[in-house]
Amino acid sequence: MSSMHDDPRPGDVDTIPILDFGSQYVQLIARRIREAGAFSVLLAPDASPEEIMRWKPRGLILSGGPASIDEHNAPTCHPGLFDLDVPMLGICYGMQLASHMFGASVERAESSEYGRAKLHISSATGLFAGIPSDTTVWMSHGDQVENVTAHFEVLASTDTCPVAAVRHRTRPFHGLQFHPEVTHTPHGVDMLRNFIYEICGCNGGWRMADYMELQCNALPGIVGENRVICGLSGGVDSSVVAALLHRAIGDKLTCIFVDNGLLRKNERELVEKTFRETCDIDLRVIDASKAFLEDLKGVTDPQEKRRLIGHRFIDVFQQAADEVVKDGGSPVKFLAQGTLYPDVIESGQGHAGTAANIKLHHNVGGLPEDLEFELIEPLRDLFKDEVRALGEVLGLSPAIVGRHPFPGPGLAVRLLGEIDAERLFILRECDEIVLEEIIAANLYKATQQVFAVLLPVRSVGVMGDGRTYDSVVAVRAVVTQDFMTADWARIPYDVLASISNRIINEVKGVNRVVYDISSKPPATIEWE
């Protein structure tokens, strides 16, 4: 379940739907709109005029996408779309598609643009009100609009793209060849705000509390008289899902905490204490560590690890659901998960189905095809910082809302190579030291994810008067806003020295510590 498929908004909230043509950046557009104070939902690219108007839209955005409009099976929109009396903004592919349907030609550009470009604005009104006449924008296109008809006014250009922005003379359509939603377009947010307020006439009343209300209104109707089980890990995402569902459906929710043998040190005790003492939620703790570790014995491929873990989780949840029914509860029909938008994109399951598969997430890409549950994923439209904001609205404690992410497959994707009890023990101890030192240095809130990785290599060292040949541990620390991109954190040398010294001195079997200075992209945050 996702808000993009639900009933329209609670109350009289300005809404800007987005037709999703497959851009990696499409949810960034939705996020920028929500940040500006309007609500946004993603709709299929060929959504009918009736479906669009059901949302009472103040405006409509046509997203970018990787296709060319003349490709076989290239996504297109409903032929009646442009008969709607609704302001529209086409971005990249969205501009090309609309321009083509209005009679302009779209051709392969003589010089493709990928990266920053200098935009020359010829009409500094409307969409470009208050924007410098020369500004930097982020381009990512091989095709571009040419031979615009008399119906269009060209608003801006770059040195290699004469038609970088347009306005239809008689219909409420604007188009941008570049991406205003990314941070690489410095005034992009201003352009989107101009569209939202100056062109669409929105009033800026949308807040995260409205998202909570929307989900709380929709969930009871979806669940009916059935029960929902929620995989609670104690992390931010699953905690927010649990709190949201508990508010929406009350005692129809049962939370399952699975000890899969791949948890951080003392994690099970922490989760039990936190949720039993502070939340009136039906929480059941299942120790399935033996089964998980048996599944993973001898497995080194990271995708296979994720797949096996995902399948075993479902088996455990099914057994838990049977127990709930035996205890006199109503049938369990739904499984709730804390899937976020970056998870969906990295698993190649964007709304238009065109995103590249980077890795399986056990909560979106590692589930069996014969899954007996229906999924409820009320956070899958949100980024991590938005989930934290929702957690605050739901009244969760700062200690929970502010936790760094921990992957669903746990330490399995931070222990490279084969998994066994000895190596898991080493990784847990190293990871605990890393977190202790980061917290002691008051850097936990300044970073967004910090952890240790145990590498499948050994190196020569000297301890005392003897030669050692022991394991190598990598330390990973990143800063990021949305987890779609990230940079490595500039941890002070003295903190890194303390981490290294403690690990080597306190953890038997490790004689070398390295620091990961890779950004995302090209690397991902997790190593597997």
Asked if residues 255 and 284 have their Cβ atoms less than 8 Å apart, the reply is yes
Q: What is the dihedral of CA 124, 129, 132, 136, to 10 degrees?
A: -100
Please report, for residues 146, 307, 312, 364, 372, the alpha-carbon distance to residue 369 in angstroms, rounded to integers and kept in the order given: 45, 11, 13, 11, 9
For 229, list phi and psi in degrees, rounded to 5: -105, 140
3-class SS at 250? helix
Asked if residues 56 and 387 have their Cβ atoms less than 8 Å apart, the reply is no
Q: Which two tokens stand for residue 342?
A: 């970056």
Tokens 């605990």 correspond to 432
Nearest to 351 by CA among 339, 366, 341: 341
Q: Which two tokens stand for residue 378?
A: 């009320």
Amino acid 233 reads S
From the candidates 77, 78, 92, 230, give the one annotated as an active-site residue.
Answer: 92
Q: Please, what is the end-to-end C-alpha distance for the chain in angstroms?
A: 28
Mapping DSSP onto H, E and C, the string for 139-172 reads EEEEEEEECCCCCEEEEEECCCCCCCEEEECCCC
Nearest to 526 by CA among 225, 252, 246, 305: 305
Rounded Cα gap, residues 9 and 409, in angstroms: 35
Mapping DSSP onto H, E and C, the string for 196-215 reads HHHHCCCCCCCCHHHHHHHH
From the candidates 77, 161, 168, 181, give the one annotated as an active-site residue.
Answer: 181
Report H helices in 327-361.
Answer: 341-346
From the candidates 174, 179, 187, 404, give the one annotated as an active-site residue.
Answer: 179
Asked if residues 185 and 137 have their Cβ atoms less than 8 Å apart, the reply is yes
Rounded Cα gap, residues 49 and 88, in angstroms: 13
Q: Which two tokens stand for residue 452?
A: 């240790």
Question: Active-site residue 179, yes or no?
Answer: yes
Rounded Cα gap, residues 260 and 242, in angstroms: 19
Question: Active-site residue 181, yes or no?
Answer: yes
Name the residues annotated as catalytic: 92, 179, 181
